[in-house]
A and B are shown apart, each in its own frame.
Chain A
Amino acid sequence: MKTTGLLVVAMLLLAACGGKQIEPNYYLLRPSAQIESRQLSPSEDFALGKITIAPYLDQPGLLLKTGEGEIRPARHHLWAEPMYEGVHSFLVKEISRAKGEDILPARLMRDAIVVEVRVDELHGTTDGRAVLVGYWWLRRNGEILSAYQFSESKSLSREGYQALVEAERALLEQLAEKIAASMVLPG
């Protein structure tokens, strides 16, 4: 009799614990342009070297700057792959597209000019903007040929994390175009 009473109380408590389940949203960082089936035309002069991202970017949630020096990762709006993989894949495709020739990894191109990129900031802000700060440099056989800095922001077209992803993608496209424009053979 006594045992039966305790089981009833436990069942009531467990029923009280149940709540509404929130499904997270996953976002993928890929170029917006359609990718065609074609034969690749590797660049003989340029290659893509190491791409690094700031450590705070290496987390699953999208990032929103809520105050000065304050970043808040989203709990329910997550990247579908590690941030590094997304940035790397995005830049390879976009630089190749902007340059007009396919840029291969540096380990495959021995004497090519190597482009190395570091993304320092990539997040949204509470005032409706996406921010991208990055650096890149051209190197050949350990010698730095030239170095550049990129710092741009873009307003969101609408509210929500989807718009934030689109804005960040647009900023990465601008960065890829700038990088491609800087990839010229030294005179």
Chain B
Amino acid sequence: MTTQRAEKDQGGGISAIWIIPLLALALGAYMVVYTWMTEGPEITITFNTAEGLVAGKTKVKYRDVDMGLVEEVRLTDDLEKVVAKVKLERQALPMLREDTRFWLVTARIGMGQISGLGTLLSGAYIELSPGAGAEGARDFIALERPPLTPTDAAGLRVKLTSERATSVSAGDKVLYKGYEVGRIESREFDPEKGKVNYVAFVDAPYHELVNSAVRFWNTSGISLTASAEGVKVRTGSLTTILAGGVAFGVPPGVTAGKPVEHNTQFKLYSDYEAILQNPFTYGLNYVVRFDQSVKGLLPGAPVEFRGIPMGRVERIMMEENLQESLVRDMQGEGDPIPVLLYLEPGRLGLPDTPQGVEYLQTGIRTSITNGMRATMQTGNLLTGAKYVGLDFYDGLEPATQGEHFGYTSIPSIASGIGQLEQKLATVLDKVQELPLETTVDTANAALGNLNQNLASLQKILDSQSTQELPADLEAMLEEIRIVVSGLAPDSDLYQSLNSSLLRLNKSLGNLEALTRTLAAQPNAAVMPSSAKPDPIPEVTQ
């Protein structure tokens, strides 16, 4: 019998049996690394509700490609929102930026479109819209409804502000001359300013049509205008009539402005007529204090310079006036009533720019120095509607611009109907002061006397002597004619008169000679004349 002896392998190598665990370890490490290398990010998306969200089922898609899966749906700690934990593919990692948007895609039926029908069968899913901001974001808030414009879409985004909520809502169209060029993206109410803000997006290349001179107006509904020219109906497309919409364009008579940047603020006018009434952008406020009744002067009343509209009445500043009166404790003293005006340089042909406003300011300041004053005029005698007129007047005391309630003032004078009323009242007062009763009594007495005098005159005219007066006058005129004919050059009287004049002339000559003699010799009347004899004309040979 052979006995085998166990011998210790002195070679000392690692047993091959260890290959298996090592291999498993390497495989495990590889799998860990692989998993770490290929595993996508984990993000959270906050929703208002969990409607349509199912953990392990609801997918996240981008361009209909699965990018992840909702792993968990839970409420936030304050129970106000719902948080969905989503495991994304690693491919989605570059898409996770601070402005990346997520929203739930479900079947939606709106006025303009029907979308998401496919989700009726496949179930809702979360759409991803990659952003362009900083990377690294992991917590997101889902949009309530799908964004109307992709984040990276080419075009122009502007902000519209309206004084009141209109029928325009998110998703409505933005039209240019009736052609759809964009859409309303959102609508929000600003409780602080009491205004409704809209965000509108105009697609490229139509965004180049938007400049600083364009106006946006609501084209929803039907505009019906009745005037002396007839009835005008202005509508947008059927969709905008039903669903609302916004149009923009440059008002007639206004030149195109400069290109605008993203998020430029525009006013959303209620309709196109409102734009025609207020086509200008720039203007400035003035205050006019009227020391007369402002009945009939309503906000929106025109302000005219010699018949040319240059602005409107904003409002009657009763509130400020009352506060000032309270501060000064001067109630009941009949302070002038301040009226706030809004003047636009564009209406006078000046540029509709800040520089045009400066021109208008300078012009008004100079004109006031030259006698321009504001007056309240009656525009419609039937309705009593009034407007503010600016014109030049002579013989006024010098006036300058002051400042009231933070606005520059324009001096005013009473005019128009108000002035007439004052004059009429003055005349009536004077008439009332006239001693009419005494005057009438005196006039009656005078008329009685006149009546008596006329009766006496009638008696004189009826008398025979008066009747014979014309015949006597005729006889007298005949005698005058005879006398005048006697004065003719060939008449006896003329000859006699001529003869008398000749003698008189001669006597005057003698008297002149006597005067000369007496001047030369005062005693010539009683003493012999010492005058020299006349020189005798001699004959020279």
Contact = CB atoms under 8 A, between A and B. Distances in A.
Please say whether chains A and B are actual partners in one complex.
Answer: yes
A185 B533 CA distance: 50
Contact of A161 (B512, B513, B536): B536
B537 A164 contact: yes
Contact of A127 (B526, B534, B536, B540): B540
Interface in B502-526: 502, 505-506, 509-510, 512-513, 526
A155 B540 CA distance: 8
A161 B509 CA distance: 19
B514 to A, nearest CB: 11
Nearest to B513: A75
Given A17-B528, A60-B506, A82-B505, A75 B534 contact: yes
Contact of A72 (B506, B513, B535, B540): B535
B538 interface: yes
Contacts of A64: 534-535, 537
A30 to B, nearest CB: 16
Nearest to B529: A19
Interface string A70-81: 001011110001
Interface size class of B (residues with CB under 8 A): 20 to 34
Contacts of B513: 60-61, 75
Nearest to A163: B537
B491 to A, nearest CB: 15
A17 B539 contact: no
B537 A17 contact: no
A151 interface: no
Nearest to B508: A60
B539 A75 contact: no
A117 B149 CA distance: 120
A128 B536 CA distance: 9
Contacts of A124: 537
Given A60-B506, A81-B502, A159 B526 contact: no
Contacts of B536: 159-161
Interface string B364-396: 000000000000000000000000000000000
Interface residues of A, number: 32
Contacts of A60: 506, 509-510, 513
Contacts of B65: none
B484 interface: no
Q: Which of the listed residues B512, B531, B533, B535 has the most CB atoms from chain A within 10 Å of its own CB? A: B535
B527 interface: yes
B531 A75 contact: yes
Contact of B537 (A18, A19, A160): A160
Given A17-B528, A19-B528, A59-B509, A126 B537 contact: yes
B526 to A, nearest CB: 5
A14 B526 CA distance: 8
A42 to B, nearest CB: 16
A41 interface: no
Contacts of A81: 502
A72 B535 CA distance: 9
Contacts of B512: 59
Contacts of A2: none
A157 B506 CA distance: 30
A61 to B, nearest CB: 8
B534 A157 contact: no
A134 B294 CA distance: 92
B535 A82 contact: no
Contacts of A163: 537, 539
Interface of A: 14, 17-20, 59-61, 64, 66, 72, 74-77, 81-82, 85, 124-128, 155-161, 163-164
Given A64-B534, A74-B534, A125-B537, 13 more contacts: A59-B509, A60-B510, A66-B535, A75-B513, A76-B533, A82-B502, A82-B505, A128-B538, A128-B539, A128-B540, A158-B539, A159-B536, A159-B537
Interface of B: 502, 505-506, 509-510, 512-513, 526-529, 531, 533-540
A-B pairs with the 10 shortest C-beta distances? A19-B528, A74-B534, A60-B509, A128-B540, A128-B539, A124-B537, A164-B537, A17-B526, A159-B538, A127-B540
10 contacts: A20-B528, A64-B535, A82-B502, A126-B535, A127-B538, A128-B537, A128-B539, A156-B537, A156-B538, A163-B537
